């Protein structure tokens, strides 16, 4: 069969450790035999980031703005321990994801890959729930203070135009803790636009929750800005039969548990941090969680939600066969190829993405899966733990059969 042709490259960001090994295997077994792949390749492996003084990350993000679609492998974010592990590092380079996110001004959407054999802990969840987490400000960019004597704390804003406003935070009669948090209207607007755009792109309802009954001004601004931004997207929502639904965070939590799934839940930074761990665990496994960074203009960068799976990598280096789950990384590739196909009007490329996903899901549903999933299947389901290579070979066989 002839290979599928591409017209525009997608940005390929290579990464580290076990996921870098998976990256090669996935390309070799599941993509290159079927697609005449065109990518703008950037090596975001830690040592190459170090050699380029992290310029490669910036270049990759800028290329993503240019081409509109990227797929990224998991990468090491260096910490103290990594500095000892890699003595050649000249700096503790920042998280590549953070750098890319700020250049693309994007919002991260996380969606679980669901299969029949693994039932969510919440028994009525039938469809995936996507969490959109605002990735700027609030407690993540707050300043903190701890004091030990009675006194009072005030908060002053000094405008560049000479204006000034001061508020009494609190007067206390003893030791206390304090926190000053902020967010930027521009960031909240970008967050809102990315959410509305992604809801349209994936044809799902959008929920948004804050605590505006308590934080009347702060969370109230989030609610208002979302309402304002929604005006521009309303006609498309109506045409697609989608709804935008705002509710209080505590009400949202209760409704999410009672729901069937199948929508996007937009959360403020902290809520998204906490809720995404709860939702992903309840759906099954981090190895089955996909992630996409979406800019307000629709630029998308696809990746797995998990890290570089270091422990498996060290076993791999010792020559052992590992049973590392490649699903989320495969779905990052299929997501990017589907998007490329949509943007370039290449239906056969988008169709290939769907077939690739189907082949992998069929393989899992036939009971062929990596070790992490075997422990999660429902009682009575016959599953067999295989190595990564065996899983990819089985999926490749199915894919070839689907494509005839
Ligand atoms: P991790 O790589 O996600 O792995 C944590 C554990 O989760 C693994 O040891 C493994 O458990 C299990 N696991 C995760 N993905 C799996 C998969 N695909 N198949 C099977 N099991 C899987 O997290 P980490 O060990 O905390 O972080 C490792 C490195 O990744 C760090 O350097 C961190 O900076 C980086 N990281 C990168 C990203 C990113 O680029 N987006 C995100 C998170 C972390 P068992 O060992 O029990 O099998
Ligand atoms: Mg977290």
Q: Please give the distance, rounded to the nearest whole angstrom, from the Cα atom of residue 248 to the centre of ligand 2.
A: 21
Q: Please give the distance, rounded to the nearest whole angstrom, from the Cα atom of residue 311 to the centre of ligand 1.
A: 8
Q: Is the pLDDT of residue 277 over 90?
A: no
Q: Is the pLDDT of residue 303 over 80?
A: yes
Q: What angle, 0 to 180 degrees and rounded to 10, lies between the N-to-C axes of helices 347-365 and 327-344? A: 160
What is the SS3 assignment for 377? Answer: coil
Q: Is the pLDDT of residue 1 over 80?
A: no
Mean pLDDT across 198-213: 96
Q: Are 21 and 50 in contact (CB under 8 A)?
A: no
Percent of the chain past pLDDT 70, that is, above it, reads 100
Give the CA angle between residues 119, 120, 123 to the nearest 5°.
90
b/e burial code for range 14-27 (CB count within 10 A of at least 16 → b): bbbbbbbbbbebbb
Sorting pLDDT into bands at 50, 70 and 90, what band is 106?
confident
Least confident of 97-111, 301-315, 381-395: 97-111
Q: Which pLDDT score is estimated for 313? A: 97
Q: Is the pLDDT of residue 286 over 90?
A: no
Give the CA angle between residues 194, 197, 200 to the nearest 5°.
150
Q: Is the pLDDT of residue 162 over 80?
A: yes
Average pLDDT score over the chain: 95
How far apart CA 77 and CA 110 sit, in angstroms, is 20
Instruction: Report pTM.
Output: 0.91
Pocket flag, ligand 1, residue 77 (CB < 6 Å): yes
Q: Which pLDDT score is estimated for 136? A: 87
Pocket flag, ligand 1, residue 365 (CB < 6 Å): no
Q: Is the pLDDT of residue 102 over 90?
A: no
Cα distances (Å, whole numbers) of residue 136 to 110, 133, 293, 309, 318: 16, 9, 13, 27, 40
Long-range contact pairs involving 155-158 (C-beta distance under 8 Å, separation at least 24): 155/180
Q: Compute φ and ψ for 142, nearest 5 degrees.
A: -90, 160
Q: Please give the distance, rounded to the nearest whole angstrom, from the Cα atom of residue 308 to the centre of ligand 1.
A: 5
Pocket flag, ligand 1, residue 388 (CB < 6 Å): no
Distance of CA 208 to the CA centre of its chain: 17
Q: Which pLDDT score is estimated for 198? A: 94
Q: Which pLDDT score is estimated for 96? A: 94
How far apart CA 261 and CA 141 sit, in angstroms, is 32
Pocket flag, ligand 1, residue 322 (CB < 6 Å): no
Mean pLDDT across 333-349: 97
Sorting pLDDT into bands at 50, 70 and 90, what band is 246?
very high
Sorting pLDDT into bands at 50, 70 and 90, what band is 210?
very high
Sorting pLDDT into bands at 50, 70 and 90, what band is 404?
confident
State the maximum Cα–Cα separation within the chain, in Å, rounded to a whole number.
79
Mean pLDDT across 143-172: 97
Give the ligand at the shortest distance from the Cα of 270.
Answer: 2
Pocket flag, ligand 1, residue 309 (CB < 6 Å): yes
Mean pLDDT across 299-318: 96
Q: What angle, 0 to 180 degrees and rounded to 10, lies between the N-to-C axes of helices 347-365 and 388-403? A: 130
Q: Which pLDDT score is estimated for 38? A: 98
Q: Which pLDDT score is estimated for 275? A: 92
Least confident of 69-73, 219-223, 328-332, 372-376: 372-376
Q: Is the pLDDT of residue 281 over 90?
A: no
Q: Which pLDDT score is estimated for 284? A: 83
Give the ligand at the shortest distance from the Cα of 108.
Answer: 1
């Amino acid at each position: 069969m002839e290979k599928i042709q591409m017209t525009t490259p997608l940005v390929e960001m290579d990464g580290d450790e076990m996921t870098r090994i998976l990256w090669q295997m996935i390309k070799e077994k599941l993509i290159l035999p079927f697609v005449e792949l065109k990518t703008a390749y950037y090596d975001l492996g830690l040592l190459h980031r170090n050699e380029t003084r992290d310029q490669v990350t910036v270049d990759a993000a800028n290329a993503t703005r240019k081409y509109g679609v990227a797929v990224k492998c998991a990468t090491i974010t260096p910490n103290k321990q990594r500095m000892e592990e890699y003595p050649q590092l000249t700096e503790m380079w920042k998280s590549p994801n953070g750098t890319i996110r700020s250049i693309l001004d994007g919002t991260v959407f996380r969606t679980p890959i669901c299969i029949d054999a693994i039932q969510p802990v919440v028994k009525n969840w039938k469809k995936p729930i996507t969490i959109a987490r605002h990735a700027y400000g609030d407690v993540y960019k707050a300043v903190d203070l701890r004091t030990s004597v009675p006194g009072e704390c005030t908060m002053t804003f000094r405008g560049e135009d000479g204006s000034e406003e001061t508020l009494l935070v609190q007067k206390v009669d003893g030791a206390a803790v304090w926190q000053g948090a902020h967010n930027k209207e521009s960031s909240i607007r970008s967050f809102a636009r990315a959410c509305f755009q992604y809801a349209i792109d994936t044809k799902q309802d959008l929920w948004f929750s804050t605590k505006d009954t308590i934080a009347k001004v702060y969370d109230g601004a989030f609610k208002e800005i979302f309402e304002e931004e929604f005006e521009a997207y309303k006609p498309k929502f109506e045409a697609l039969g989608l709804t935008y639904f705002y509710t209080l965070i505590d009400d949202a939590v209760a409704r999410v548990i009672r729901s069937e799934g199948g929508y996007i839940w937009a959360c403020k930074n902290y809520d998204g941090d906490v809720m995404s761990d709860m939702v992903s665990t309840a759906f099954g496994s981090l190895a089955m969680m996909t992630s996409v960074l979406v800019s307000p203009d629709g630029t998308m960068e696809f990746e797995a939600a998990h890290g570089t799976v270091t422990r498996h990598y060290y076993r791999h280096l010792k020559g052992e066969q590992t049973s590392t789950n490649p699903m989320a990384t495969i779905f990052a590739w299929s997501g990017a190829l589907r998007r490329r196909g949509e943007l370039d009007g290449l239906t056969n490329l988008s169709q290939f993405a769907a077939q690739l996903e189907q082949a992998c899901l069929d393989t899992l549903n036939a009971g062929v899966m990596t070790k992490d999933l075997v422990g999660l299947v429902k009682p009575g389901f016959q599953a067999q733990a295989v190595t990564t290579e065996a899983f990819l070979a089985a999926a490749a066989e199915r894919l070839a059969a689907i494509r005839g």
